[in-house]
Amino acid sequence: MAQAITRVSTPPPVRSEPRVKLPWPLNIYQTAVGKKWVMGLTGIALLGFIVVHMIGNLHLYEGPLEIHEYAETLRDLGTKLLPRTWLLWIMRIGLIIAFALHIHSAYSLSRMSIAADKRYPGGRSYIAANFASRTMRWTGPIIGLYLFYHLADLTWGWFNPDFVRGDPYHNVSESLSSIPVAILYIVANTALAVHIFHGTWSMFQSLGVNSPRYNHLRRYLAAGLAGIILVGNLSFPIFVQAGVIDDDGRSIVEELQHGTAEGEDH
Amino acid sequence: MSSEINLTLKVWRQPGPLAEGRFVTYEASGISTDASFLEMLDIVNERLIEMGDEPIVFESDCREGICGTCGLMINGQAHGPQKGTATCQLHMRSFNDGDHIVIEPWRATSFPVLRDLAVDRRAMDAIIAAGGYISVNTGAAPDANLTPVPKETADTAFDAAACIGCGACVAACPNSAAQLFTAAKVQHLNLLPQGQAQRWARTEAMVETMEEFFGSCTNHGECEEACPKEIPIDFIAWTNRDYIKAKVKNRKLAG
Amino acid sequence: MLGSLDARIPAGSLDSKWTDHKFSMRLVNPNNKRRFDVIVVGSGLAGASAAASLGELGYRVKVLTYHDSPRRAHSIAAQGGINAAKNYQNDGDSVYRLFYDTIKGGDYRAREANVYRLAEVSVDIIDQATAQGVPFAREYGGLLDNRSFGGAQVSRTFYARGQTGQQLLLGAYSALMRQVAAGTVELHTRSEMLELVMHDGRAVGVVTRDLITGEIVAHSAHAVVLATGGYGNVYFLSTNAKMCNVTAAWRAHRKGALFANPCYTQIHPTCIPASDDFQSKLTLMSESLRNDGRIWVPVAHDDGREPDQIPDADRDYFLERKYPAFGNLVPRDVASRNAKTVVDEGRGVGPLRNGVYLDFSGAMARDGEAMIRAKYGNLFDMYERITGEDPYRVPMRIYPATHYTMGGLWVDYELMSNVPGLFVLGEANFSDHGANRLGASALMQGLADGYFILPYTIGNYLSDFLGDPALEISEPAFANAEQAVTDEVNRWLSIGGTRSVDHYHRELGKLVWDYIGMARNKTGLEKALSEIPALREEYHRNVRVLGSADTLNQSLEKAGRVADLFELAELMARDALTREESCGGHFREEHQTEEGEAMRDDDNFTHVAAWEWNGEGTPQTRHREELEFENVELTQRSYK
């Protein structure tokens, strides 16, 4: 619908009409509520990934071979219908798109709010806003930077001279045994949990999922999810540091390739 | 019972819309705790006039919490420390002897300061003009009891309709979003059977007008805390839902 | 010159007057409506509903309000409800009964024809408001709920929690904003009308001051509609909003519009007493509290004990004692006067000895605290917020306060003043409530005038001017009016006195409350007629208005308003002095029965007193409009 003509004299609008009106349904993304909606939906996708990723990583505790096999299983997904790794790549592309939209909507909405907002030189007190809600614009970029490091470190192996492609156990234990890296992981994953705490609750509001009878459960769900992800993700750097995850510099993948692996019947 | 307290006020003074503003400190001594916050400012103003200083400009009208004219940022809190209370109904017994009180106008880009503590809130009227009504010409209405409205629906619609349009939600919002105001106005009409015909057009038009002037909600919940009528942010969620539905429905209806 | 005033009431039987008159009035065809400009001053129930309705019809409307938004008008503060003769409760209500109750409640000082029309259109108001989305209270079956209000014997009051006025105003405001968006209504906020512009004996426009920039602006139109509310703030302390004033009506009065019955003011019995000298306004508590609360004061003078230490034997439930039949539910004026009597005797309660107790302990013992909480919880909360006392533990303290003014600019049956082209709606006119207004009738009258009466009658006036453009604002009439406003503004700024506007307003209020308050007498009124002009003279000599004319300057705004209130106060005293009878809200101590009840003088005062301005310093001339009662018999009220 065309913008209603308002004949009330007002201060100049903070935000002007988009120059190009995109066709439906893309025009939804041109509005703030639409962007919030996209942010909520992509948030669900990213949250789903994070939960699965965390649970998958728990294979680390089973041993080097098990996590390796888990990784291979992922690459094998959907091979009945598609060539190997295709489905994984489809999911990865989906995640990349979701991530890009999540960031873009956050960025443009922040700009909108900054344009609309005048600070209080006398200071303000917060009553309802919590640490998580107020730090979304900080935890978000922290997670983004961390994600880049995380990929570079454990997927691309840029920072790890001992990197062995396809051997998560080895790479994780090599990387996280360094104290600065472990600290970085702990900080970043704490930020992630904080982000998820507000994001999960906020998502219900943005998507309009609201029923007074169940509303009180949303905070519990948010806290529960954030807590589980926090505990799960922090366990890895902590247990590497504690020596629970440790392959003494040996790579199970290299050993498999060289036929020196012990025990496992392959 | 009542007693007298002495306060130090740090008040935002700004001679006009384009002028630079600054804080000026005033001593407010011998203020009765039975005085309302605005009566305390009245007393300060009387003293200022006596000394030949121009009084502090602040707005108020009904002074019983219903007209929505008043609104001050008091120690960083919209309408001050008492929950569910507009500035005019806040009384000095909420403060202690020796307190320092910082008083600022509402702040948002679309609420430009006119003078001192008075701001221009016409952007909120623009949101109403965009669709905050049911189009029924005078005389065209059917009998009031023709359409029964479930009591619960009427009550919930009233909860939304209780909005006094003071702008505290915008002032309290770290994003200067007017989502609670808009949602209250949208849902009041969207919930009632009488409002169904224009439900989707209204939602789209009002939300988009809101977005021209105000920031984007990040679900802090500060607005609900500041609202003198304690309007819940559930209405925001419902409006978000209605908005996406409207985007689909209006397209279908428009062909 | 004015002879005896003719209200132009149509002939015919009472129940067909309005129907017949609607048919006989001339119409303006839809294409021609857009060639007429109408100015509406005020955006409360009457102004907003009139402007919206006129806009819908196609007139070019300009709304002027001094508020920052039309939604802030004081109609918003009405709590109780709105009457309508719907008879949804099947309890014997009818248009005739509402008419009868209103005439009787007004102590037979209102026009039959107007009141009947008001009762007739009352039903349409409820339909209109419901269709606009006003969330009236409903029963579980989904139909509208009613309650009995202000001692009425039928349940005809529609309500929206304790915020009926707010919801009705938001309905009218939304209709107005719809027309603003449609382009039929031009909205000017923060514009205060300071002059009525006359040309050839007709009202042709107004001059306003922009409250932000100080700009003086002329507005021209074919007709001017004033919907600017009442003058209760002449008492300084009243339940009216701080900005309420008489200025628009008064400036019209100074240009020739008659001011009718200024002495008819209504005092509301259940307000929170003032707590100190700094008190800026009084807050009303819904009258419904009297359904369960018992009103009392100590028997002894200056009884210093806490209320719970005073045994029943030492308490005087004075309303129950004097009016066994109605008890605490006697009409507003009776309850108010009796409270004043006991306080004047020195039996008042509270720190300033200026209130009476309204005690719920009996009701709580009977129905349980939960029941009382459910019924009055929000009112009790409001009381606690203001006084800091918990009314569940300590009896409330209440005292009467000015609430509504029945007097106002004189209008004929078509709501046009004696100045052609000047229409007056709502509380600003004098028309429908006589000497006393019934509870829940103010909202009804404002909306009746705006939605259902003016839109018809204005066409009857405008149809004479088809093809005539509105007067150019370059005409001398506008330039003169603009100059007058500029001069006035400059005069206030140049006085350079020592005391603030509020100081004088407060002093004026005390005089008016003492001499023209709940009970008046000849000596007091004569004192008022000498003291008010003296204070007024001092005001004009010694008021201090700081700052400049070209900014938001609240002292400057108030200066003009208080000046008008001074002139009005004098007229109130004169009107009260001349009306040698007691009726409704006007109680002359010389005219009471042996039991202390109001005593009317129907032989000599069954008329409206409408005052004509004769220039500054000269008393106004009193004109009469005789009231004919063809349908109801005049009786004396009794609440024994």
Sequence ranges of the domains in chain B: 4-115, 122-254
**Mean pLDDT value across residues C251-271:** 96
Work out the number of other CB atoms within 10 angstroms of the CB of residue A43: 23
Is A163 among the domain residues? yes
Question: Which residues on chain B are in Cβ contact (under 8 Å) with A104?
Answer: none
Residues of C with CB under 8 A from a CB of A: 177, 180-181, 183, 186-187
Nearest to B114 among C67, C86, C552 (CB): C552
First to last CA, chain B: 67
DSSP category for residue C438 = P
Residues (pLDDT < 50) of chain A are: 1-5, 263-266
Work out the number of other CB atoms within 10 angstroms of the CB of residue C219: 23
A257 φ, ψ to 5°? -65, -35
Subunit contact B158:C544, Cβ cutoff 8 A: no
Q: Please give the pLDDT value at position C464.
A: 94
Query: Are C427 and C229 contacting, i.e. CB atoms less than 8 angstroms apart?
Result: yes
Indicate the SS3 state at residue C164: helix
The pairing of beta strand B100-104 with beta strand B4-13: parallel
Which class in CATH covers the domain with range B4-115?
alpha beta
User: In a mutagenesis test of the C interface, which of A1, A8, A10 is the best target, namely the one with the most C β-carbons within 10 Å?
Assistant: A8
> A215-241 and A168-176 are packed helices; what angle lies between their axes, rounded to 10 degrees?
80
Q: Using CA coordinates, name the residue in chain A closest to C190.
A: A9
Q: Is the pLDDT reported for residue C1 higher than 70?
A: no
User: In a mutagenesis test of the C interface, which of B37, B64, B116, B152 is the best target, namely the one with the most C β-carbons within 10 Å?
Assistant: B64
Subunit contact A5:C181, Cβ cutoff 8 A: yes
Query: Are C293 and C396 contacting, i.e. CB atoms less than 8 angstroms apart?
Result: yes
DSSP category for residue C158 = E
Q: Which tens digit of pLDDT belongs to each residue from B13-62?
A: 999 999 999 999 999 999 999 999 999 999 999 999 999 999 999 999 99
Indicate the SS3 state at residue C435: coil
Task: Return d(Cα B119, Cα B63) in angstroms, integer.
Answer: 18
Question: Which residues on chain A are in Cβ contact (under 8 Å) with B123?
Answer: 10-11
Chain B touched by C72 (CB under 8 Å):
yes
Work out the number of other CB atoms within 10 angstroms of the CB of residue C534: 10
Nearest to C166 among B66, B130, B136 (CB): B66
Q: How many percent of chain C have pLDDT more than 90?
A: 87
Name the pTM for this structure.
0.96
User: In a mutagenesis test of the A interface, which of B9, B122, B214, B216 is the best target, namely the one with the most A β-carbons within 10 Å?
Assistant: B216
Q: Which tens digit of pLDDT belongs to each residue from C4-34?
A: 899 999 999 999 999 999 999 999 999 999 9
Residues of C designated as active site: 332
Q: Which sign, positive or negative, has the C-alpha torsion C280, C286, C287, C290?
A: negative
CATH number of the structural domain spanning residue A189? 1.20.1300.10
Which residues, 6 or more positions from C52, have their beta carbon under 8 angstroms from its beta carbon?
A: B138, C172, C175, C176, C178, C179, C185, C450
Is A100 among the domain residues? yes
Query: Are C152 and C98 contacting, i.e. CB atoms less than 8 angstroms apart?
Result: no
The neighbours of chain C, by the rule of 3 or more Cβ pairs under 8 Å, are A, B
DSSP codes joined into one string, C175-187: HHHHHHHHTSEEE
Query: Are B22 and B47 contacting, i.e. CB atoms less than 8 angstroms apart?
Result: no
Subunit contact A11:B201, Cβ cutoff 8 A: no
Cis peptide bond N-terminal to A25, omega within 30 = yes
Subunit contact A8:C183, Cβ cutoff 8 A: no
Nearest to C72 among B15, B68, B115 (CB): B68
Q: Please give the pLDDT value at position A4.
A: 43
Residues (pLDDT < 70) of chain B are: 1, 254-255
Using only C-alpha atoms, chain C has a radius of gyration, in whole angstroms, of 24
Q: Which sign, positive or negative, has the C-alpha torsion C518, C519, C521, C527?
A: negative
Nearest to C278 among B32, B130, B155 (CB): B32
Subunit contact B112:A11, Cβ cutoff 8 A: yes
Q: Please give the pLDDT value at position C203.
A: 98
Q: What are C203's two structure tokens?
A: 């009202």
Chain B touched by A1 (CB under 8 Å):
yes
C residues 434..453 contacting B (CB < 8 A)? 451-452
Task: Return d(Cα C40, Cα C424) in angstroms, integer.
Answer: 10
Q: Please give the pLDDT value at position C3.
A: 60
Question: Which residues on chain C are in Cβ contact (under 8 Å) with B1?
Answer: 351, 388
Query: Are C103 and C110 contacting, i.e. CB atoms less than 8 angstroms apart?
Result: yes
Give chain B's mean pLDDT.
96
Block residue for tokens 């050839």: C200
Q: What are C414's two structure tokens?
A: 């078509």
Residue type, C268: H
DSSP codes joined into one string, chain A: -PPPPP-S--SPPSSPPPSS-PPTTGGGGGSHHHHHHHHHHHHHHHHHHHHHHHHHHGGGGT-HHHHHHHHHHHHHTTTTTS-TTHHHHHHHHHHHHHHHHHHHHHHHHHHHHHHH----TT----SS--HHHHTHHHHHHHHHHHHHHHHHHHTS-SS-TT--TT-HHHHHHHHHTSHHHHHHHHHHHHHHHHHHHHHHHHHHHHTT---TTTHHHHHHHHHHHHHHHHHHHHHHHHHHHTTSS--TT--HHHHHHTT---S---
Our CA-based measurement puts residue C175 at a distance from the nearest CA of chain A, in whole angstroms, of 14
Work out the number of other CB atoms within 10 angstroms of the CB of residue C14: 18
Q: Which tens digit of pLDDT belongs to each residue from A194-245?
A: 999 999 999 999 999 999 889 999 999 999 999 999 999 999 999 999 999 8
Q: Is the pLDDT reported for residue C492 higher than 50?
A: yes
Nearest to A125 among B76, B110, B213 (CB): B76
Residue C554 parent element (H or E):
helix C554-578
Return the CATH number of B122-254, one of 2.30.30.100, 1.10.150.20, 1.10.1060.10, 3.40.190.10. Answer: 1.10.1060.10
Q: Please give the pLDDT value at position C490.
A: 97
Q: Using CA coordinates, name the residue in chain C closest to B2.
A: C388
> C554-578 and C247-254 are packed helices; what angle lies between their axes, rounded to 10 degrees?
60
How far, in Å, are B61, C105, C404, C596 from residue C519 at the CA level? 28, 18, 16, 11
Which residues, 6 or more positions from C51, have their beta carbon under 8 angstroms from its beta carbon?
A: C40, C43, C61, C63, C176, C179, C185, C225, C450
Q: Please give the pLDDT value at position C56.
A: 98
Work out the number of other CB atoms within 10 angstroms of the CB of residue C473: 18
Chain B touched by A93 (CB under 8 Å):
no
pLDDT band at C523 (very low <50, low <70, confident <90, very high): very high
Q: Please give the pLDDT value at position A258.
A: 81
Q: What are A63's two structure tokens?
A: 């041993």
Domain C476-626 in CATH 1.20.58.100? The answer is yes
Q: How many percent of chain B have pLDDT more than 70?
A: 98
Sequence ranges of the domains in chain C: 267-402, 476-626
Nearest to C551 among B16, B36, B128 (CB): B16
Q: Using CA coordinates, name the residue in chain C closest to A7.
A: C181
**Mean pLDDT value across residues C473-501:** 97
Chain A touched by B131 (CB under 8 Å):
yes
Q: What are C628's two structure tokens?
A: 């004919």
Nearest to C554 among B57, B136, B139 (CB): B57
Is A140 among the domain residues? yes
Query: Are C412 and C258 contacting, i.e. CB atoms less than 8 angstroms apart?
Result: no
Return the CATH number of C267-402, one of 3.30.56.10, 3.90.700.10, 3.40.50.150, 1.10.3720.10. Answer: 3.90.700.10
Full residue range of the structural domain in which residue A174 is found: 32-115+131-257
Q: Which tens digit of pLDDT belongs to each residue from C309-318?
A: 999 999 999 9
Give chain C's mean pLDDT.
95
DSSP category for residue C537 = H
Chain B touched by C86 (CB under 8 Å):
yes
pLDDT band at C100 (very low <50, low <70, confident <90, very high): very high
Q: Using alpha carbons only, what angle is made at residue B173 by residues B171 and B179, rounded to the nearest 5 degrees? A: 100
Is A102 among the domain residues? yes
Our CA-based measurement puts residue C60 at a distance from the nearest CA of chain A, in whole angstroms, of 14
Strand arrangement, sheet containing C315-316: C265-271, C396-405, C356-359, C294-298, C315-316
Subunit contact B219:A133, Cβ cutoff 8 A: yes
Residue type, A230: L
A residues 151..170 contacting B (CB < 8 A)? none
Q: Please give the pLDDT value at position C98.
A: 97
Number of domains into which chain A is organized:
1
Subunit contact A127:B222, Cβ cutoff 8 A: yes
Would you give the distance in Å from CA C267 to the centre of its chain? 11
Task: Return d(Cα C444, Cα C118) in angstroms, integer.
Answer: 8
User: In a mutagenesis test of the B interface, which of A27, A110, A118, A133 is the best target, namely the one with the most B β-carbons within 10 Å?
Assistant: A118
Q: Using CA coordinates, name the residue in chain B closest to A26.
A: B247
Subunit contact C71:B165, Cβ cutoff 8 A: yes
Q: Please give the pLDDT value at position C296.
A: 96
Residue C528 parent element (H or E):
helix C522-542
